[in-house]
Amino acid sequence: MNNRIKVARAGQGMTQQQLAEAAGVSRQTINAIESGKFVPSTVLALKMARIFGCKVEDIFQLGDED
């Protein structure tokens, strides 16, 4: 799975810690998602989309291997 979390976060001038607090997770979780080491739950993906004011599909995409 590919994601644009880092780009969306930077576009809002938000740190990993700020996003983590808004989403109710740890900064390490945000780091793992951004680096592709962790795939978020549906609930977390929806929360992140709400935080960024976009659709889930705008920040998460299936990769060719998915």
Reported as a single tens digit per residue, the pLDDT across 10-24 is 999 999 999 999 999
Return the SS3 of 46. Answer: helix
Below-70 pLDDT ranges, the chain: none
- What's this model's pTM, rounded to 2 decimal places? 0.91
Q: What is the pLDDT of residue 34?
A: 97
Q: What is the pLDDT of residue 37?
A: 95
Return the SS3 of 3. Answer: strand
Q: What is the CATH number of domain 2-55?
A: 1.10.260.40
